[in-house]
């Protein structure tokens, strides 16, 4: 299934990019559900002392829920690179609703996000190689909790590279010339 295009001359997103964008939107769910369970009062791998030390009770609950919501919303923005609402912003968007975002700006912001997410989450791929005795020895987290954290955060390692791939697809579809190059104009306009 490909998405329809709204701009004249812009082809629909390829099927692989649409699928990658949908997968990207799902990558934040495991860690988000884990954090929301923490906010709901489940220890989710922490010990009682570690739960309190992490600052979850009180305002920490608001923080972990807000972090989960913001992460999911950012992941959902990837869909804008393959969907019509990414070509023309919905009318309800403040100050920009109904307008077409500049493809260069969209690609630059999405590309910067892909680099930042890759730098942020790639080290987490090494979670399995790191000793977690420090967390478990001081009583902050159980051994199973450290394993659980590894499983719920590991999908985030793919977030940056998938966003980067979808961004490149967006850029190609909008046929943006490389920086410093101008498009050739025909003698007819």
Question: Where along the chain do its domains lie?
Answer: 15-82+102-173
Least confident of 41-45, 80-84, 102-106, 183-187: 183-187
User: What average pLDDT does the segment 116-138 reach?
Assistant: 77
Contact 142, 45 (CB under 8 A): yes
Q: How confident is the model at residue 28 (pLDDT cuts 50, 70, 90)?
A: very high
Q: Where do runs of H (alpha helix) occur along 59-142?
A: 59-76, 103-121, 133-137
| pTM, two decimal places | 0.81
């Amino acid at each position: 299934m490909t998405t329809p295009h709204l701009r004249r001359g812009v082809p629909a997103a390829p099927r692989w990019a649409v699928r990658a964008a949908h997968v990207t939107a799902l990558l934040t769910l495991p860690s988000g559900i884990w954090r929301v369970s923490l906010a709901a009062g489940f220890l989710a791998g922490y010990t009682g002392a570690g739960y309190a030390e992490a600052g979850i009770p009180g305002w920490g609950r608001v923080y972990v829920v807000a972090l989960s919501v913001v992460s999911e919303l950012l992941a959902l923005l990837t869909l804008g690179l393959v969907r019509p609402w990414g070509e023309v912003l919905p009318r309800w968007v403040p100050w920009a609703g109904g307008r077409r975002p500049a493809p260069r700006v969209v690609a630059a912001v999405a590309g910067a996000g892909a680099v930042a997410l890759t730098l942020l989450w790639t080290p987490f791929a090494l979670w399995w190689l790191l000793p977690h005795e420090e967390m478990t020895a001081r009583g902050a987290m159980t051994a199973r909790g450290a394993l659980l954290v590894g499983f719920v955060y590991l999908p985030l390692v793919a977030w940056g590279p998938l966003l980067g791939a979808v961004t490149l697809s967006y850029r190609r579809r909008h046929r943006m010339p490389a920086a410093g190059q101008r498009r050739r104009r025909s003698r007819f306009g």
